[in-house]
Structure 1
């Protein structure tokens, strides 16, 4: 271990690995009983008492632990595994970007019997993280059975549409989804400050024709744009666009970029694409924005980027609303579709509990 006045470098013998830390960060993250409350899993240390010039006057390694004695006499002990984990960004499963019909071979329906076991829930969550969607089959075509499946994975996200919702053609809400018209690929809730993370669908019954679902991997489309026109990609990542939802007694608005990256990285975290809900608010650099938006829209609507299939009773489809766009063909007759939203925070919480994100 080496140190200067502000930083410490920990060299791990035998593995050729070096970890560098700010000394004040180490002191702030002391896990002794005076600095950390193990009952609540919260820190107890007062940040105003931390000296930016703190230093360790003595240290030693023993049994995969680093022991430090600070200049003021305080002692700290750190597991090397803890230091390694928190010296890097959170580790996520590597996403697999797909194009159109490729999704068919990636997404295997998981039976309800398997999903009712922890292993099946882990498989569904992992598929959502990696592929952006998952399917649970063999579910009774009722609202209550669908709700049970969703809540086994994560709590339902309540919005102005309720918790569990049923979509028909009644225009109960002022939304195109409540019609029989075709709907182009889009993501939901762009007018919310925190759009739903997952969108869940279950077609209970359809007596009629049409209504095929269209799914598009928005991340794949964004990467295609980035490779062919990096300036347009940068424009959509840097221009904040307003979306809104209007009905009697409700007026939601939210602003954000079409393409948003995970904090501290260049990794794409969210695509917010919904031309139905964009407000008339003038965006900055409007000409460049519209040029970039047209190019992304053309990619998203390319036939080779679309996966089209018919939702069948018994199949509950989980979609990552921050990545995969959904749409549908127009339909005739009577169709009963139920579903719900799940917040991204709740889904990621479950993924961490399942050790899929570390």
Structure 2
């Protein structure tokens, strides 16, 4: 028993060592600020500045007697690029030529052991194409309709369904498993979003006016906002009233790619979301972008419920810059879905990922808003996915 205790870790070590030394990279791609090594199954990305900083060359980077680094990374230009990158020594080493009198030679086992950019998926700017998310309801193909909703909600975070029904309760049943109920809020069970509302409570807010409303998530001022929202059109406006939606989670990943500092501030600095109405108040404190490791878990974004920022003086303008940088992606028309709902249409979206907005309008526009728990919706949709 004692012997096995030590043999098992040894086997794991030998197996790991074998992986580090046996893997062969067969292709090199040079990028603007980094190099990508590619084999049949994996990729590894290394910034040029990282490679220069960790150069093992004796004399140029490492002291010949002490083996210590002699170059401070502050001395290395941030835009450094090599003259040549190639595999050598039967593809066991990566040779980088910085200049005619300076080369670096890295063992692939060293790069594998320090692969901070392994199998990295490059974030691209979100693309909002309405054709991707729009379907037309067919009562004779109900199961296909539900599966189509599921596929689009998973991939894009939203779905638009044309010509479904004016029967709100019928649509609710499409997304609720047996025994589940919609999420009631301080407005009530179902919101009637119209200027002459007499059915809901606490209507002293923008949704019950004809004013334009910019991009936001719903209920960010409570601890546990509803995860899904459905907006059903009962009557479209005479003019205006179009909706805009954008996948803020995808935008956040893209922000991380192009401006890590802005992303860091928006994921770590808490702000106050404070809803203050005549007879209702609620406060939540947290960052705009909530993460778990590298995963975006939830976006809270609501310009009209933001309390005054109360940061240290040195942080305030930096935070505004980060907020503005994120907004520049969210408000880019290329990233947005622009839709006008007609009577009987609805849009359903993930309230943890999507922001939505509305143009100002004229006429008796009437939409109904219904909130769902994500667990309920996915449970109902999973039933149809299994029957596919």
* Structure 2 counterpart of 1:217, from 247, 257, 260: 247
Give CA-to-partner distance per residue, 1:64-113, whole Å, 9 cap, x none.
xxxxxxxxxxxxxxxxxxxxxxxxxxxxxx9x98735x432321315252
Contact kept in structure 1, 2:249 and 2:299, CA below 8 Å = yes
How far residue 268 of structure 1 moved from its aligned partner, in angstroms, is: 1.3
Give CA-to-partner distance per residue, 1:156-177, whole Å, 9 cap, x none.
1111121221101247512211
The corresponding residue for 1:188 is 218
Contact kept in structure 1, 2:124 and 2:254, CA below 8 Å = no
Give CA-to-partner distance per residue, 1:185-222, whole Å, 9 cap, x none.
11111101011111101111125101111111212322
Q: What is the aligned residue count?
A: 269
Contact kept in structure 1, 2:177 and 2:379, CA below 8 Å = no
The corresponding residue for 2:228 is 198
The corresponding residue for 1:133 is 158
With over 3 angstroms needed to count, the CA separation of the structure-2 counterparts of 1:146 and 1:335, relative to structure 1, is: farther
The corresponding residue for 2:148 is 123
The corresponding residue for 2:364 is 334
Contact kept in structure 2, 1:174 and 1:246, CA below 8 Å = no
Structure 2, gaps ≥5 residues long = 13-120
2:365 alignment partner, SS class: strand
How far residue 250 of structure 1 moved from its aligned partner, in angstroms, is: 1.8
- Partners of 2:249 and 2:4 lie apart in 1 by 42
- Partners of 1:327 and 1:156 lie apart in 2 by 22
Q: Whose Rg is larger?
A: 2
Contact kept in structure 1, 2:175 and 2:380, CA below 8 Å = no
More helix by share: 2
With over 3 angstroms needed to count, the CA separation of the structure-2 counterparts of 1:322 and 1:347, relative to structure 1, is: same
The corresponding residue for 2:24 is none
Taking structure 2 as the reference length, the TM-score comes to: 0.61
The corresponding residue for 2:172 is 147
The corresponding residue for 1:99 is 126
- Partners of 2:11 and 2:349 lie apart in 1 by 42
- Partners of 1:10 and 1:312 lie apart in 2 by 65
Structure 1, gaps ≥5 residues long = 12-93
